[in-house]
Amino acid sequence: MARPDKAAAVAELTDQFRSSNAAVLTEYRGLTVAQLKELRRSLGENAQYAVVKNTLTKIAANEAGITSLDDQFTGPTAVAFITGDPVESAKGLRDFAKENPNLIIKGGVLDGKALSADEIKKLADLESREVLLSKLAGAFKGKQSQAASLFQALPSKFVRTAEALRVKLEEQGGAE
């Protein structure tokens, strides 16, 4: 029978997998406690970085419906559970890994889809959600302005054409 403390740990990890938008698996071999503390700060407020036992985490991931990470539970593993913007946390991991080559990004999962280490690095290269939304809003505003100009141009052109026709008819009427 499973020990109650292990069952509780699996239940907690399962909840974290289910409540997270993303999870990134890393290998932290060679990092000091101070470096791990710095890494936790660099991930932002919406991420929790936890050093985990591979067997318990693998069970928890499977219970949460994530089976694509099974082969990545080797060596010393830590998981970044991300509940907010995954881009911000991916940038924190990427930047920390550049400064500390002992941190290895193994892979992860984003909204149930498995991600390789390269895909996580590409995710980190994206702009933040707020920047992307503001660019989208700017594009919509620009298109609305273009549409307004187009709709305003049609009646304006009609009025100019009608005025030119009136002037031409007056000139022809006065010449007779």
Q: What is the pLDDT of residue 91?
A: 86
Say what the pTM is.
0.66
Classify residue 77 as left (phi > 0), alpha (psi -120 to 50) or beta.
Answer: beta
Task: Please report, in tens digits, the pLDDT of each residue of the chain (176 residues total).
Answer: 468 888 888 888 888 888 888 888 888 888 888 888 888 888 878 888 888 888 888 888 888 888 887 788 888 888 889 888 888 888 888 888 888 888 888 888 888 788 888 888 888 777 767 777 887 887 777 777 777 777 787 788 888 888 888 888 888 876 55
CB 40 within 8 A of CB 90: no
Query: What gap in Å lies between CA 64 and CA 14, rounded to an integer?
Result: 6
CA-CA distance, 138 to 152, in Å (whole number)?
Answer: 21
Query: Residue 111's Cα: distance from chain center in Å?
Result: 10
Dist CA 139 CA 108 (whole Å): 32
pLDDT for res 175: 57
pLDDT of residue 1: 40
pLDDT recorded at residue 176 = 54
Residue 174: predicted pLDDT: 60
